[in-house]
Chains A and B, each alone.
Chain A
Amino acid sequence: MKNRTWLALLLVLAIVVAACGGDGGESTTTEGEPSATTAPSDGPGTTGGESGTTMAPGESTGYTELDQALAGEFEGTTVEVWAQWLPESVEAANFTAALEPFFEATGIEVNFQPTPDYETALQVAVDGGNAPDLAQIAQPGKMHQYADAGSLVALDFFNAEKLEAEMVPAFFELGHYNDSLYGVYYKTDVKSIVWYPVQGFADNGYEVPTTWDELIALSDQIVADGNGNPWCISIESQEADGWVATDWMEDILLRTAPEEIYNQWISHEIPFNHPEVLEAADYMSDIWFTEDYAYGGSTYINATWIGETQDPMFAEGGPQCWMQKQAAWIGGFWGANRDFIAENPEAPSSEWPIVPGEDVDFFYFPTIEEDFGTPVLGAADMFVMFNDRPEVRALLEWLATPEAAQGWIEAGGFLSPLTTVPADWYTYPNDGLSEMVQNATTVGFDASDLMPAEVGAGTFWSGMIDWVAAEGENTEEVFQQIEDSWPG
């Protein structure tokens, strides 16, 4: 009897400890299906020749480890990559597909984990010593935090001269911190565009506005015609509620103030509620809070999820709202496209129920003050490195080549920060967008991403929400509160 009690006690304790021990060791890597990204279903050689890549073994790419990898030196190794693109999203599928040539050419398996609640998950993994080898980061500020904490590998091995020659200068610079290269930009977005229903515009004789005055005139015209409301706007986005509004602010500020003001606003050399910024807010409220301009008013703006903002544009019986300022990814969320893509993630956009470029097209968010030219507001994703192994270096180097972008460019929804990507790879709408980048007098990086997180992902977002809730009545108060919340 006594012995049995002993044994029982021991067993219970053992189970408890084993459970604890097991947790620490392996919990972070069990989710997801590691094989999903690497299934080499079509054997090597079947997709080799067609793409015209320069990845033939023996020919130097200019990157040391990548050359070694292409020579097969790291075959059979695995690299773990995390990114914020949600599991089963179009982005995750495209990235997975884009990685396939790397596996075929080098034999290095890339274990790509699309991760929900990404920023928290990454932070927890890094803090717990389980950081992935490579991780995508959208906010330069986050990269600075990880670099300050000593979590990141400085990319001293990288052929920086080659990268500088092949990348848009602004992105090369943004990858640096404290004079070291930490991030390699892979993907960019242009946000300065406005979508409109093509047939609806034609039926009503509406023309694409090219100046701010024309934009306002068109808005008035739509209201006067009794065609519903000119604008589809909403900002509800769960954890990141409010970012659509900050994008608007930034895009307008780039158009109403010199670039220096924009940069000083980001670095807080001028107060957050500088008169130039308040002026931009006034321009913004001319569209957001003018009566009958925004569909559903301020409640709709605050209560509607950003993926559904534009639903009234596709209402039966004609558009109820006519213009939406949003980056190109929104096409996947138009009305019937949402369900269609969920069922047919592989289908090209020309097969979608609502075809970008035919049913809905975009125009450049117009210039406001001529002096400031034609700026564009952009966002971008970089990859940073947490674990330094040769095969990890090779993958990072490969991600800086046009080949890494080709698959996704052809699938659509992708702009590369590389200048070496052939222009004829792009299809609609990215041909137009990359042209916009080239014509841009200024490329403004998303300001809220560059501000301290307390502001850029905190009070700036919540301030915009309060501003909308008060229908723009409390502009000075809101911007003063954001200014007061600036840390330090």
Chain B
Amino acid sequence: MQAMTSEQMGPKIIRSLLVVVITFAALWFGLGFLSDPVAFQGMPPTVSKLIQAAIAIILGVAGIWALFYAGNSIIEALPARATDLLRPYLFVLPAIAVVGLYLIYPTVGTVVTSFTDVPEGEGFFYNYEQAFTSPEVILNLRNNLIWLIIAPAIAVVIGLIFAGMVDRIRLESLAKSFVFMPLAISFVGAAVIWKFVYAWKPEGQEQIGILNAIWVWIGGFLVDWGILAEVEPIAWLQAIPINTFALIAIMVWLQVGFAMVVLSAAIKGVPSELTEAARIDGASERQIFFRITIPSIKGSLLVVYTTIAIAVLKVFDIIFVTTGGNFDTSVVAVRMYQEMFRFRNFGQATTMAVILLVAVIPIMVVNIRNLRRQGIGA
């Protein structure tokens, strides 16, 4: 790039400033036009929506291009060294702005609200005092803890078993896709499916839930053989404490596929020289699995475990759809939704959000550290 004289720079800066002004004016009036309630009156709704969408897309595409063009032309007008120094920021800034606006700003706002949205005359910690003295919140936290302890562990163990076994069969990819399939189903969809699996009908009526249908059928034999006095269908979703474990089973079903796929790839990555050397040394298959394979894939195990743990901490859909948080199954996220949208209690709702956030952070830290150690992260 040639060095520019100061005479050349003057008009260039003016020109690029002009571009900036025009771009902003166009965006300003364009967006104003879009949000003007009168502008689209009298048109059939479909037509007005289509026109609005078209304008929005044109404005978005052309506007962004114009903004970058304007920003770039300003930077180009500067001395060459400044140009090289500033150009990366031109590209990074919009990303930072978007993350800041949609992620950091709401997070900070949430934390602030949890401290400031209190009844008059109460201190900053009112919401937290309320939360940690409320028997319901304690129950929610307890349930979150049960989920956190059980769900990721079971999902990882089952995933590991599948990964280890599937490695040796011929129809590997077919078997894998069956286990993997639930991962493609949304949490809500899975909850609806399992609501039917767990469905309860009173004794004597036809059991439409497969679990109770099987239970009553087997139970019939047990009664005939004199092992059981009578058999009653079980209300899986209403009976405390079975219901929490029934719900955890849904989460495990959803996550096993993920665990299996990642761990299966990790197992394949274990150098065969190692296992073969062990075999020559006379190690049994079990010893190889526990002494060689597992230590070699420790990193992947940790990633899978923490990823599932984060998903489990945030669990909401499964509980909301199946029990609505009743029968002692509620967790912090469900409570947050209720406080926010049913009770309009922003202070309590944001407090729940902060509690969840704080609970997730240590797991995130472990996860990121581990990724770094493996050289996957930056």
Please name all residues of chain B whose beta carbon is closer than 8 Å to the beta carbon of A30 when the two chains form the complex: 49
Of the listed stretches B60-68, B163-171, B259-267, chain A binds: B60-68
Please give the distance in Å from B273's CB to the nearest CB on chain A.
42
Instruction: State whether A111 touches B238 (Cβ < 8 A).
Output: no
Say yes or no: A457 contacts B324, CB within 8 Å.
no
Given A25-B52, A26-B53, A238-B324, A18:B342 Cβ within 8 A: no
Complex Cα distance, B240 from A299, in Å, reads 12
Please tell me if B175 contacts chain A, counting CB pairs below 8 Å. no
Alpha-carbon distance A20/B60, docked complex (angstroms): 9
Chain A hits for B46, CB < 8 A: 34-35
**B68 and A13 contacting across the interface, CB-CB below 8 Å:** yes
Tell me the B64-83 residues at the A interface (CB within 8 Å): 64-65, 68
A239 touches B324 (CB 8 A): yes
- Residues of B contacting A25 with CB < 8 Å? 34-35, 52-53, 56
Task: Enumerate chain A residues within 8 angstroms of B52, measured Cβ to Cβ.
Answer: 25-26
Contact status B238-A453, CB under 8 Å? no
Are B56 and A303 touching (Cβ within 8 A)? Answer: no
Q: Which residues of B contact A299 (CB under 8 A)?
A: 200, 202, 235, 238
Closest to B65 in A: A10
Q: Which residue of A lies closest to B324 (CB)?
A: A241
**Would you call B344 an interface residue if the criterion is a C-beta within 8 Å of the partner chain's C-beta atoms?**
yes
A488 touching B119 by the CB < 8 A rule?
yes
Is A462 in contact with chain B by the CB < 8 A criterion? Answer: yes
- Alpha-carbon gap, A30 to B98, bound state (A): 25
Q: Is the interface of B mostly helix, strand, loop or mixed?
A: helix
**Chain B 312-339 interface mask (CB, 8 Å, partner A; 1/0):** 0000000010001111000000000010
Chief secondary structure at chain A's binding surface: helix
Chain A min CB distance to B34 (Å): 6
Chain A, interface size: which category? 35 or more
Residue B94 is within 8 A (CB to CB) of chain A in the complex: yes
Q: Which of A15, A17, A123, A458 contacts B338 (CB 8 A)?
A: A458
Contact across chains for A10 and B64 when beta carbons are under 8 A apart: yes
A391 to chain B, nearest CB (A): 10
Q: Is B271 an interface residue when CB atoms closer than 8 A count as contact?
A: no
Q: Is B91 part of the binding interface, using a Cβ–Cβ cutoff of 8 Å?
A: yes
Q: What mask results when residues 37 to 70 of chain B are scored 1 for a CB within 8 Å of chain A, else 0?
A: 0000110011001001100110111011100100
Interface string of B327-364 (1 = CB under 8 A from A): 10000000000100111110000000000000000000
Knowing A465-B326, A469-B238, A469-B327, the reply to whether A120 touches B341 (Cβ < 8 A) is yes
Q: Is A307 in contact with chain B by the CB < 8 A criterion?
A: no
Mask of B190-204 contacts with A, CB within 8 angstroms, 1/0: 000000000010100
Please name the residue on chain A nearest to B62 by beta carbon. A14
Are A295 and B53 touching (Cβ within 8 A)?
Answer: no
Partner of B49 from the list A9, A29, A119, A239 (CB cut-off 8 Å) is A29
Q: In the complex the two chains form, is B343's CB within 8 Å of A458's CB?
A: yes
- Residue of A with least CB distance to B199: A303
Partner of B235, one of A9, A123, A302: A302
B64 near A17: Cβ-Cβ < 8 Å:
yes
A453-B343, A453-B344 as given contacts; A18 in contact with B42, CB under 8 Å: no
A-chain residues with CB within 8 Å of residue B60 when the two chains form the complex: 14, 17-22
Mask for A127-146, Cβ within 8 A of B = 1, else 0? 00000000000000000010
**Which residues does chain A contribute within 8 Å of B151, judged by CB atoms?**
none
Chain A residues whose CB sits within 8 angstroms of the CB of B49 once the complex forms: 26, 29-30
- Name the residue of chain A whose CB is nearest to the CB of B94: A13
Query: Does any Cβ of A come within 8 Å of B309's Cβ?
Result: no
Minimal beta-carbon separation of B27 from chain A (angstroms): 10
From B344, which residue of chain A is reached at the shortest CB distance? A145
Given the interface contacts A77-B42, A302-B238, does A458 sit within 8 Å of B324 by beta carbon?
Answer: no
Q: Mark A465-488, 1 if CB is under 8 A from B, else 0.
A: 100010000000000010001011
What is the bound-complex CA distance between A10 and B34, given in angstroms?
23
**B156 beta carbon closer than 8 Å to chain A:** no
The answer on a CB contact under 8 Å between B68 and A10 is yes
Q: How far is the CA of A123 from the CA of B46 in the complex (A)?
A: 24
CB distance from B250 to the nearest CB of A (A): 17
In this assembly, does A115 line the interface, its C-beta being within 8 Å of a C-beta of chain B?
no
Cα distance A329–B87 when bound, in Å?
66
Interface residues as binary, B93-109 with A (CB distance below 8 Å gives 1, 0 otherwise) = 01000100000000000
Complex interface residues of chain A between 296 and 319 (CB less than 8 A to chain B):
296-297, 299-300, 302-303, 312
**Complex contacts, A295 vs chain B, CB 8 Å:** 202
Partner of B65, one of A14, A19, A120, A487: A14
List which A1-32 residues lie within 8 A (CB) of chain B. Answer: 9-10, 13-22, 25-26, 29-30
Closest to B203 in A: A296
Q: Indicate if A76 sits at the interface (CB-CB under 8 A).
A: yes
Of chain A, the residue at the smallest CB distance from B45 is A34
In the assembled complex, the Cα of A296 lies from the Cα of B34 at a distance in Å of 58
CB closest chain-A residue, reference B35: A25
Q: Which residues of A contact B240 (CB under 8 A)?
A: 469
Instruction: Give chain B's interface residues, CB within 8 Å of chain A.
Output: 34-35, 41-42, 45-46, 49, 52-53, 56-57, 59-61, 63-65, 68, 91, 94, 98, 119, 135-136, 200, 202, 205, 235, 237-238, 240, 320, 324-327, 338, 341-345
**Interchain Cβ contacts under 8 Å between A and B, 12 examples:** A14-B65, A18-B64, A21-B56, A25-B52, A35-B45, A77-B42, A239-B320, A299-B200, A299-B235, A299-B238, A454-B345, A462-B325
